[in-house]
């Protein structure tokens, strides 16, 4: 049957029809999760509830304190909200840039949708909605407890949730439209695969830069009023990030107007009219640029030339290994350094480490007076725990996903005479050795900054080696037990349920080690307090044996479980 143009538009599937499969897939996934694993749902609810309660609690305490400050209290609360919304807007923009590329140009349903008689405006709105949800859900969840605290402290009343919804919808829409327009332009200039690499890199570098900038601004100075000459300086600092043309400022004003009973609809009008205008502009650009952009997104020839220098060097370095292991390690290295979603995480890692070392340097420990060795020991001991947590996070990012990333290629590994034990061990050492070097580096550098006594330095080195070997095995083993073979983005794997389980297991292991080590450390402190003598306590030997045993178990058991699972895995 052939329709006229107007008839074709009338018969075109609407936004809800286009998004139908997504909604149904989500429902099906939730149903499977519910039926299959009650414990998993309970854990997620508990963790989510705990997180919300913590955010709400912190926001409530701060706002309650602000409310008590005469005259400038509401101003402070408003500024805090504006700064929070501005930070979220920056995150949303970056997230929308990357998400829009997937939903508009790389998604699996695009061939079907583009070839179907779908009117362009419905297509645009459906994809915009999809981008909005995918890129903003985390920030949306974060905003709920914060705004609840505002509503409770300032008496927002029963209509406040509705006001928040009306205010935040255009606030969330604006970065989505801007992100999708920027992506549209970028895809028209570069092929989509190259654009994805560039975007991932830009997004991560910007995020890293943001964190670094915030840290280097030394916000802890705000907690030291003596650092400011007078109240005017303090207020000037408070005013710094605000700007009358920023949508986050309008959103903050609209919400604060409601909470402070100020009748001024202008911020809300500005938000909605700007969002409307941006959607119209975005739609018209989509109409002109989507078809050429989509065509271009099908391109993707990427020549890498003959073997690069680093590959030749790596091949020479690994020449002593049997050919199977050597080629396997080389393959892992090539895939890692050619996939921007993987290697770009090194940027975040570098930022994390700089911030960590900077934080240790910024500790007000050595400010002129003589520092008691007890305090130094305690700080070094706590630093050991913190360092362990950082190591766990790095293992979650780089070692946990390594088996999942084999994904659809597992058919090749399982049908070849590759010994799965050898494969697992190869992945273990490739991930754990760099982690060990890094861990020892952080431990020694931060301990030197803290001027740790030799006893603590020794304990740190022993613990770091044992814990790193264990946490690498834990990450790899749990990565096999909770695989994510279907994911297309390596960065999403650590945030899966299995990633969460790994982080909890790693933190539990760390806690156990710290508790065991607390015995000789406490004994050492008592000895120093009583007679000032320096030397390792007798219990240190037993502690080292205990830590070694715990870590050996935490290394062998997950690797064995992982190997069993990998052998039995039907792919």
Q: How many CB atoms lie within 10 A of CB 507?
A: 14
Q: Could you say which of 324, 527, 539, 560 contacts another protein (CB under 8 A)?
A: 324
Positive or negative, the CA dihedral 18, 19, 23, 29 is: positive
Angstrom distance (rounded) from CA 476 to CA 558: 8
Q: How far is the CB of 342 from another protein (least distance, A)?
A: 9
CA 471, CA 558: separation in Å to the nearest integer? 10
Contact of 173 with 131, CB cutoff 8 Å: no
Q: C-alpha distances in angstroms, 211 versus 155, 204, 206, 207?
A: 33, 11, 9, 6
Residues 393-412 that bind another protein (CB under 8 A): 407-412
Give the residue, chosen from 72, 75, 166, 413, that forms a contact with another protein under the rule CB under 8 A. 413
The binder of another protein chosen from 418, 519, 522, 536 (CB under 8 A): 418
Number of residues that bind another protein (CB under 8 A): 37
Please answer whether residues 160 and 269 qualify as being in contact, where contact means their C-beta atoms are separated by less than 8 angstroms: no
Question: How many other CB atoms sit within 10 Å of the CB of residue 526?
Answer: 12
- Considering only residues 331-360, where is the footprint of another protein by CB under 8 A? 331, 334-335, 338-339
Furthest-apart CA atoms within the chain: distance in Å: 98
Least distance (Å) from another protein to the CB of residue 148?
44
Q: Minimum distance between the CB of residue 315 and another protein, rounded to whole angstroms?
A: 10
Nearer Cβ to another protein (67/334): 334
Q: Residue 325's CB: how many other CB atoms inside 10 A?
A: 19
Of 2, 6, 232, 323, the one binding another protein by CB under 8 A:
323
Q: Crossing angle, helix 497-531 and helix 373-398, to 10 degrees?
A: 160
Q: Does 193 sit near another protein (CB under 8 A)?
A: yes
Per rule CB under 8 A, is residue 419 in the interface with another protein? Answer: yes
Q: Is 303 in the site for another protein (CB under 8 A)?
A: yes
Rule CB under 8 A: is residue 300 a binding residue for another protein?
yes
Contact between 108 and another protein by CB under 8 A: the answer reads no
Residue 29 or 338: the one with the smaller Cβ distance to another protein is: 338
Give the span between the Cα atoms of 562 and 560, in whole angstroms. Answer: 5
Considering only CA atoms, which of 286, 321, 92 is closest in space to residue 207? 92
Contact with another protein (CB under 8 A): which of 4, 5, 306, 367? 306
305 part of the interface to another protein, by CB under 8 A: yes
31 binds another protein (CB under 8 A): no
Q: Does 296 bind another protein (CB under 8 A)?
A: no
- Report the alpha-carbon angle 354-356-361, nearest 5: 90
Examine residue 523 and tell whether it contacts another protein (CB under 8 A).
Answer: no
Residues 368-387 that bind another protein (CB under 8 A): none
DSSP 251: H
Query: What does the DSSP assignment read for 467-492?
Result: HHHHHHHHHHHHHHHS--TT-S-GGG
Residue 409 Cβ, how far from another protein at the closest point, in Å? Answer: 6
Among 219, 225, 244, 322, binds another protein (CB under 8 A): 322
Q: Which two tokens stand for residue 468?
A: 């790193």
If one asks whether residue 6 binds another protein (CB under 8 A), the answer comes out as no
Rg (CA), the chain: 27
What x-and-dash track marks residues 134-173 binding another protein by CB under 8 A?
A: ----------------------------------------
Say whether residue 34 binds another protein (CB under 8 A). Answer: no
Nearest-approach distance from CB 423 to another protein, in angstroms? 9
Q: At what angle do helices 497-531 and 539-568 cross, to 10 degrees?
A: 170
Q: Half-sphere exposure of residue 347, counting CA atoms within 13 Å on the CB side? A: 20
Least CB distance to another protein at residue 301 (A):
4
Dist CA 248 CA 92 (whole Å): 11
C-alpha 191/C-alpha 298 separation (Å) is 7
The stretch among 127-135, 295-303, 379-387, 453-461 that binds another protein (CB under 8 A) is: 295-303
CB atoms within 10 A of CB 429: 13
> Using CB under 8 A, which of the segments 65-73, 211-219, 301-309, 549-557 binds another protein?
301-309
User: Whose Cβ is closer to another protein: residue 470's or residue 490's?
Assistant: 490
CA–CA dist 485, 291 (Å, integer): 32
Answer yes or no whether residue 327 interacts with another protein by CB under 8 A. Answer: yes
Give the nearer residue to another protein in terms of CB position, either 330 or 500. 330
| 245 touches another protein (CB under 8 A) | no
Instruction: Give, as ranges, the residues between 200 and 239 that touch another protein (CB under 8 A).
Output: none
* Binding span for another protein by CB under 8 A among 86-94, 280-288, 496-504, 563-571: 563-571
Give residues in contact with another protein (CB under 8 A): 193, 300-306, 322-324, 326-328, 330-331, 334-335, 338-339, 407-419, 567-568, 570-571
């Amino acid at each position: 049957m052939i329709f006229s143009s107007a008839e074709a538009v009338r018969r075109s599937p609407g936004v809800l029809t286009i998004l139908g499969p997504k909604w149904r897939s989500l429902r099906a996934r939730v149903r499977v999760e519910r039926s299959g694993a009650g414990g998993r749902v309970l854990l997620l609810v508990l963790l989510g509830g705990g997180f919300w309660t913590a955010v709400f609690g912190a926001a409530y305490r701060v706002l309650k304190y602000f409310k008590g400050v005469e005259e400038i209290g509401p101003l402070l609360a408003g500024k805090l909200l504006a700064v929070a919304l501005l930070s979220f807007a920056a995150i949303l923009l970056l997230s929308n840039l990357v998400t829009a590329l997937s939903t508009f140009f790389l998604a699996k349903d695009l061939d079907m949708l583009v070839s179907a008689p779908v009117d362009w405006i419905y297509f645009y709105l459906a994809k915009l909605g999809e981008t909005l949800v995918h890129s903003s859900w985390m920030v949306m969840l974060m905003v709920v407890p914060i705004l609840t605290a505002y509503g409770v402290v300032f008496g927002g009343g029963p209509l406040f949730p509705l006001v928040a919804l009306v205010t935040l919808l255009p606030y969330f829409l604006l970065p989505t439209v801007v992100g999708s327009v920027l992506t549209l332009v970028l895809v028209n200039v570069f092929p989509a695969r190259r654009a994805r690499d560039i975007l991932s890199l830009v997004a991560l570098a910007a995020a890293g830069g943001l964190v670094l900038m915030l840290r280097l601004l030394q916000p802890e100075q705000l907690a030291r009023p003596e650092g400011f000459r007078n109240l005017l300086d303090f207020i000037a600092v408070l005013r710094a990030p605000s700007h009358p043309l920023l949508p986050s400022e309008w959103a903050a004003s609209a919400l604060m107007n409601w909470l402070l009973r100020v009748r001024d609809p202008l911020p809300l009008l500005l938000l909605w009219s700007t969002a409307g205008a941006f959607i119209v502009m975005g739609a018209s650009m989509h109409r002109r640029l989507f078809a050429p952009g989509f065509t271009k997104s099908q391109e993707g020839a990427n020549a890498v030339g003959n073997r690069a220098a680093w590959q030749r060097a790596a091949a020479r370095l690994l020449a002593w290994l049997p050919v199977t292991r050597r080629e396997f390690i080389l393959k892992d290295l090539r895939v890692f350094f050619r996939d921007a979603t993987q290697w770009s995480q090194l940027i975040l890692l570098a930022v994390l480490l700089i911030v960590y070392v900077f934080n240790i340097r910024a500790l007000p420990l050595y400010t002129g007076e003589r520092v008691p060795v007890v305090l130094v020991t305690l700080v070094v001991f706590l630093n050991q725990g913190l360092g362990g947590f950082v190591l766990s996070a790095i293992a979650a990012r780089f070692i946990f996903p390594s088996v999942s990333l084999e994904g659809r290629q597992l058919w090749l590994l399982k049908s070849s005479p590759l010994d799965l034990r050898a494969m697992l061990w190869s992945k273990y050492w490739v991930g754990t050795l760099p982690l060990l070097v890094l861990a020892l580096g952080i431990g020694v550098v931060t301990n030197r900054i803290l001027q740790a006594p030799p006893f603590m330095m020794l304990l740190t080195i022993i613990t770091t080696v044992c814990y790193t070997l264990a946490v690498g095995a834990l990450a790899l083993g749990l990565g096999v037990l909770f695989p994510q073979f279907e994911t297309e983005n390596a960065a999403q794997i650590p945030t899966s349920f299995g990633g969460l389980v790994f982080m909890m297991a790693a933190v539990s292991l760390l806690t156990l080690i710290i508790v065991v080590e607390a015995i000789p450390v406490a004994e050492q402190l008592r000895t120093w307090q009583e007679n000032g003598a320096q030397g390792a306590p007798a219990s240190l030997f037993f502690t080292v044996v205990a830590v070694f045993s715990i870590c050996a178990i935490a290394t062998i058991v997950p690797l064995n479980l992982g190997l069993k699972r990998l052998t039995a895995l039907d792919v």
